[in-house]
């Protein structure tokens, strides 16, 4: 019925890690987004959301994260009509300087402050909302 997608709002030194999605991507190619990806079928499994997110972050930008905290969930329909449930987690950067490791998925990586993201005209409204919610989750956990 749904594809399950997880995304990481990765935080370090007052900034959030965003990626510029490859033009080759089926959905939202060429836009700025959080790092993440789809859950794979595993049969009986535990911590699938967290493990998927950590795997996707490593595969796409070569970094490790820790301290995952739930931020929010939403649903959307891709450009090709696929129904997606999207779950966002606040993550703290742990290890590995992020870079565009998977060129089929990521063209560039950027570190931006909350105010830079909110002021950026080309960043989609849903991403701005996710960053605001991640910022609130971050403040609530201090």
Question: Tell me: the pLDDT tens digits for 113-126?
Answer: 999 999 999 999 99
Question: Tell me: the pLDDT tens digits for 95-116?
Answer: 999 999 988 888 999 999 999 9
User: Which range of residues forms the domain containing residue 108?
Assistant: 3-140
Q: Taking the CA of residue 30 as centre, how many other CA atoms within 13 Å lie in the half-sphere pointing to its CB?
A: 2
Question: Tell me: the pLDDT tens digits for 9-51?
Answer: 999 999 999 999 876 666 666 779 999 999 998 888 899 999 9
- Supply the CATH number for residue 40's domain: 3.90.79.10
Give the predicted TM-score (pTM) of the model.
0.92
Structural domains counted in the chain: 1
Longest CA span, the chain: 43
The end-to-end CA distance of the chain, in Å, is 37
Rounded CA separation 11/122 (Å):
21
């Amino acid at each position: 019925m749904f594809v399950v997608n997880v995304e990481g709002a990765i935080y370090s030194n007052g900034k959030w890690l965003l990626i510029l999605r490859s033009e080759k991507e089926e959905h939202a190619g060429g836009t700025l987004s959080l790092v993440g990806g789809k859950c794979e079928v595993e049969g009986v499994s535990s911590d699938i959301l967290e493990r998927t997110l950590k795997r996707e972050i490593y595969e796409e930008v070569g970094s490790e994260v820790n301290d995952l905290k739930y931020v929010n969930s939403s649903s959307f329909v891709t450009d090709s009509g696929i129904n997606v449930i999207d779950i966002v987690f606040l993550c703290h950067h742990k290890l590995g300087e992020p870079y565009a490791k998977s060129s089929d998925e990521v063209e560039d990586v950027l570190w931006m402050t909350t105010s830079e993201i909110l002021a950026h005209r080309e960043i989609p409204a849903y991403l701005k909302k996710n960053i605001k919610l991640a910022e609130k989750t971050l403040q609530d956990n201090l």
